[in-house]
Structure 1
């Protein structure tokens, strides 16, 4: 899979390059600012972009705004945002009408490199990888404490749904049966007022709720 990395800190950018290369990705371009990221994507047509949020020229949410533009111009290119914080308004615009091929992970919450690599592959293949904190912050823009009705177990299941895990993967992580996972999913969707038949991807169902 072809990857373009956008990160203005050289040491972190080099670390990402090495990690991705060693795990089988083809890093075809690197960018230290948002305009160069857009140029590299046009030139190399990668399968996925891994980008920070804050970078030159404005050192605000330039990287995230570039990601939104990439999704507009090349919806077939996956975009994984890797940042220290959640830029709520721009993050909501990035997700747009679909989470297909979109990821948003927080740097200080990436505990397992294998999970990170799995997230990059999933986004490159059209899946999603959203940190639970991102989901919670975006929900908070539309409804006061929207997750207050969920039990602790339901919150755990929702967090794993947001990571793009299957029922089997959730069951394996929580050491429960797939049937128990399915029951929790149905309760989550009901409590969040999301139609149970609203789509085949649970992350998209949560995002559909956000857009209401």
Structure 2
């Protein structure tokens, strides 16, 4: 069994399609799981396409596809509920509205907003924790609250804490377009929407850290 964790897509549906094709080629018929680490939307030109791809994958393979909530999905949910709309817009929400042909958050498809509202903020398997932003070094993974999981950078990034399982996350784009591979955590946000690649970490049931990395531009 292979698990592919995919970093922040941010509306780059073109790169997402390319990476999924690369994953299919790589797995060569072997069983696989997909974990999307959140922030499928905003900034890039085709958030609607990226979300449609994720929803279709999850509908076809509900036991093999996990989509996490990112802070950008959380901002969209707030905006659709009538709060913090300016915060969402200045963080790329306008591009998402445009991709749906919507003038304001209230015009977003109800089924898309409802789907985002169901997304978990933490996923775990035997070897790893998957989260969008980070975990609170002062408590365990499951004790970290929603805001921490969605938004955390520091002190998580510099803590070096061992949470008992390898932590796989996105949210903080790397400056060199390469994933950050450390003893206790892997950062797969390689800045796809800023000109970097879209990256997937390849994981097995035998060890926590990735055994390989796939990236497309």
Question: TM-score when scaled to structure 1?
Answer: 0.29
Between Structure 1 and Structure 2, the one with more helix by share is 1
Question: TM-score when scaled to structure 2?
Answer: 0.29
Structure with larger Rg: 1
